[in-house]
Amino acid sequence: MRIAVIAAVLVVAFIAAQTCQKSSIRLTKEQAIAKAEARTEFTPKRTQIRLLRQGLSSKPYWMVSLSRPGKRRGTFSALAVYRINANTGKLQRVR
């Protein structure tokens, strides 16, 4: 009986640790910006970044927007938006 209880506690602890690990933030804000800038073909003048949790498991993503202002107010001469997994660092260009 004791062995079964100990085994059950260990299984629950393992599952909880795996769940917490998948939702943790391992990539810093600065690392996310550097990763996005390395993939951008222009030199950005403006940078915006937000941390969002998406999906049923609330996975954390950095949304990084890099831009150069256009000649008219409210326009861009260049714009790149990236979604970066804050846990794995996997980068995906959105726009």
Q: What is the DSSP string of 43-88?
A: --SEEEEEEEEETTTTEEEEEEEEEEE-SSTT-EEEEEEEEEETTT
What residues does each domain of the chain span? 25-93
The predicted model gives 46-56 an average pLDDT of 91
- Is residue 57 over pLDDT 70? yes
- pLDDT of 15 reads 66
Inter-residue contact 26 to 89 (CB < 8 Å) = yes
Interatomic CA distance for residues 77 and 95, integer angstroms: 14
pTM, two decimal places: 0.70
Q: How far apart are CA 50 and CA 40, in angstroms?
A: 18
